[in-house]
Amino acid sequence: MTQPAVPAEERRAAVARMLSLASPPCFSGGGAHCIGSVPPATAGGFLGVELFVEYLAEARPIIDQRLREYLAVAPAGSPLHTYLYGILDEFIARGGKRVRPAMAMMACEAVGGDPLRALPSGCAVEFFHAAALIHDDIMDGSELRREEQCAHIVHGVPLAINTGDFALGLVCTIVVRDAGLDDGTKIAVLDAIGEMSARTIEGQALDVGWVRDDVYDLGPDDYLFMALGKTGYYSGISPLKIGALIGGAGETQRQALEHFGKNSAIAFQIQDDLLNILGDGAITGKDYLNDILESKRTLMVIHCLQAAEGDDLRRLAGLLRLGPRKSAAQVQEVVDLLHRYESIDYARNLARNLILEARSYLGALPKSKAKEVLASMADFFLEREN
């Protein structure tokens, strides 16, 4: 049975609750929101990223092979390969951790299912991710993606848009043609994909619209609501929900995985924003400080707009209004203001507490290796460098 879409008011209430995470949630005493049966190594601290890194190393060749199979349609050198299939194949082959297909597989296994049954639907989410990146790079005017020139720079904007559109078309096709799923499960998965698509586009609309309309009257809750849409669904909630549906999870387990995915994905987005400011461009493979150059309303910028006063506030707003016309010195001036008003530390602390709470939801799942890997994944999202 399909689930009704979560109303915007309910999503905003969830966002408001995230902002209350001034201290870690409970990790004892049981209950759906306490760590309960999560392995002792996770209680009160971080499990570490090794389990998840090892899982990705094992799963990625399987995922990559399946992704290539979906694109093995036109022979190399043919017009369709040159202008479509080859463009998407090359973009996919550049890299990426394959976290979203792995999430679907881990969730399926964590509720007692066969992880390989969730592989096709996980690949569908990965193609959605590829489309989002291709289109996002065009909207942002980005130059680098995964250490190489963006698709629209290499192939031109029209072909890049068309390739992203094709990747979006693959998403539902893969699920509908999956012989390993019964019709009822297909409908449930497609419903989850529809919700993911709508929420992602909502979040992107806010992210782009705020910059276009010079919007500054924003609070952290506005950022989290945007991030919940733009990133939270396709990078957490949806792949985990899809894996749980395919694995036959009950309502309690499915909701626990969705909550885990929501918190983990928003922490992932905050860390992504932090890396754009603090990371090494050679490691991240993205345009360093591009968010500052584009005047993106990241959590740090929004916090600084609320915390700064007087001349500093006026200067920050003036620098943001320059958009991409900012000089390197002016970009650094924005970064200095973020440090001065402790906006960087604010974002780091919120991301950490989101991860701590995220792992608490895993108490609703039975003990398994997949559950331990999910806990490790949450830590990976916080500690990653690219």
> What is the pLDDT at residue 147?
83
Tokens linked to 313: 């506030």
> CA-CA distance, 18 to 28, in Å (whole number)?
20
Would 42 be classed as within a structural domain?
no
Would 190 be classed as within a structural domain?
yes
Cα–Cα distances in Å, from 319 out to 15, 66, 299, 343?
28, 46, 17, 17
Which residues are CB-contacts of 59 (< 8 A; sequence separation ≥ 6)?
A: 98, 101, 102, 105
The model's confidence at residue 29, banded by pLDDT at 50, 70 and 90, is very low
> CA-CA distance, 306 to 350, in Å (whole number)?
16
Would 386 be classed as within a structural domain?
no
Instruction: State pLDDT tens for residues 300-356.
Output: 999 999 999 999 999 999 999 999 999 999 999 999 999 999 999 999 999 999 999
Is 286 in a helix, a strand, or coil? strand
Cα–Cα distances in Å, from 268 out to 16, 98, 190?
18, 14, 25
Percent of the chain with pLDDT over 90: 79
> What is the pLDDT at residue 17?
66
Task: Quote the number of domains for the chain.
Answer: 1
Would 114 be classed as within a structural domain?
yes
Instruction: State pLDDT tens for residues 220-233.
Output: 999 999 999 999 99
Which residues are CB-contacts of 206 (< 8 A; sequence separation ≥ 6)?
A: 222, 225, 226, 229, 230
Would 2 be classed as within a structural domain?
no
CATH number of the domain within which 78 lies: 1.10.600.10
- Are 292 and 334 spatial neighbours (Cβ–Cβ below 8 Å)? yes
Instruction: State pLDDT tens for residues 144-200.
Output: 898 899 999 999 999 999 999 999 999 999 999 999 999 999 999 999 999 999 999
Beta-bridge partners for 318: none
Would 178 be classed as within a structural domain?
yes
What average pLDDT score do residues 352-362 get? 95
Q: Which residue, among 160, 303, 334, 146, has the nearest Cα to 223 in the 3D structure?
A: 303
Residue 24 has pLDDT above 70, yes or no: no
- Are 152 and 139 spatial neighbours (Cβ–Cβ below 8 Å)? no
> What is the pLDDT at residue 169?
97
Q: Residue 306 CB: number of other CB atoms within 10 A?
A: 17
Determine the structural domain holding residue 237 and report its residue range: 8-13+47-381
Query: CA 59 from chain center: how many Å?
Result: 19
Q: Which residue, among 382, 362, 379, 378, has the nearest Cα to 39 in the 3D structure?
A: 362
Instruction: State pLDDT tens for residues 91-118.
Output: 999 988 999 999 999 999 999 999 999 9
Would 35 be classed as within a structural domain?
no
> What is the pLDDT at residue 281?
55
> CA-CA distance, 87 to 288, in Å (whole number)?
25
Rounded to two decimals, the pTM is 0.87
Q: Dmax of the chain from CA atoms?
A: 63
Instruction: State pLDDT tens for residues 230-289.
Output: 999 999 999 999 999 999 999 999 999 999 999 999 999 999 999 999 976 554 445 678
Is 32 in a helix, a strand, or coil? coil
Q: What mean pLDDT value characterizes the chain? A: 89
> CA-CA distance, 121 to 265, in Å (whole number)?
19
> CA-CA distance, 10 to 199, in Å (whole number)?
13
> What is the pLDDT at residue 62?
97
> What is the pLDDT at residue 32?
35
Q: Torsion angle, CA of 242/17/317/352, rounded to 10 degrees?
A: -70
The model's confidence at residue 3, banded by pLDDT at 50, 70 and 90, is low
> CA-CA distance, 210 to 228, in Å (whole number)?
16
What average pLDDT score do residues 382-386 get? 78
> What is the pLDDT at residue 21?
56
Is 124 in a helix, a strand, or coil? helix
> What is the pLDDT at residue 6?
67
Would 27 be classed as within a structural domain?
no
Query: CA 232 from chain center: how many Å?
Result: 6
